[in-house]
Amino acid sequence: DGLWIKCDGCGQTVFKSEVEENLRVCPLCGYHYRITVAERIRLVFDPESFQETRAELASTDPLGFSVGKETYAKRLQRARETSGNSEAMVTGFATLEGMRLAAGIMDPDFIMGSMGAVVGEKFCLLAEDAIRERVPVLVFAASGGARMQEGIVALMQMARTAEAVARLNEASIPYISVLTDPTTGGVYASFASLGDLVIAEPGAYIGFAGKRLIEGALKTTLPEGFQRAEFLLEHGFLDAVVRRSELRSWLSRAFSLLAGGRQYAGFSRRAAHPPLKLQAHE
């Protein structure tokens, strides 16, 4: 709550207010702090345009899972109270520079943004909504992977969400996936990596398994930063790394590019945008 914070990226001391005013990005080194779902909505979408859907969907505890004295049901309740969200993904409709979108935003602080039955269901319903309404899809991924407290039911969501993306493709609905810090495990290995364009914020931690697990299994030392957004871009796993301050305009141009000559609900053909560069921003 003080006036100063020590940047997690460069280690320098900066005014907390400067970081907040800079979209929670360090003004000295560009380190991108994690932001809440509400902050993401305010940053990306037109003012007061976001209308949440499926807020009533909430996880239960079908396995009676517990770790120590804390049951899964209690952990869910605590996550809801601290985050203000009913689940690790918030879905809805919004506009971006006047274009209507179906949007999903994940919350990395809701049980590590893990994907259980409800997160998978919300993504699948989001895809169905987009197909029915003929609007593009935008998802901000942030996750520690499948939710272990739901066992095989959580793992099933990888196949379910991948199949939902296939339906989007069949319906020619554009889908952009934005990987934020962190995007790992079953979420990365399913819908998060299947967009028509897959981009990331600078420095985002992205991968399936953790570095220590991979090094232990392969008996080798992996290069520094090999699971960061910039490394993945360099090796062809991302289409772009986009700074938070440029994300809104970049996405608007990208959806215009993906739309081509097709018309989508709420999409107006505006004057041509400058060429879209699929490369890291310096």
Instruction: Give me the pLDDT at residue 161, please.
Output: 99
Task: Give the least confident one: 177-181, 202-206, 275-279.
Answer: 275-279
Q: Considering the chain, what is the average pLDDT of its residues?
A: 92
Please count the other Cβ atoms lying within 10 Å of the Cβ belonging to residue 212: 9
280 occurs within a structural domain: no
**For 206-231, what is each residue's pLDDT tens digit?**
999 988 889 899 899 988 899 999 99
Please count the other Cβ atoms lying within 10 Å of the Cβ belonging to residue 263: 11
Rounded distance between C-alpha atoms, residue 238 and residue 62, angstroms: 37
Together in a domain, 40 and 27: no
CATH number of the structural domain spanning residue 149 = 3.90.226.10
**For 62-72, what is each residue's pLDDT tens digit?**
888 988 788 99
The label of the residue with tokens 């991302």 reads 238
Domain limits at 227?
34-259
Together in a domain, 153 and 16: no
Phi, psi of 259 (to 5 degrees): -65, -35
Q: Number of structural domains, the chain?
A: 2
Together in a domain, 116 and 74: yes
Which two tokens mark 51?
A: 């209308």
Q: Is 250 within 8 Å of 271 (Cβ atoms)?
A: no
Together in a domain, 124 and 159: yes
**For 3-15, what is each residue's pLDDT tens digit?**
999 999 999 999 9
Evaluate if residue 259 carries a pLDDT over 50: yes
Amino acid symbol at 30: G
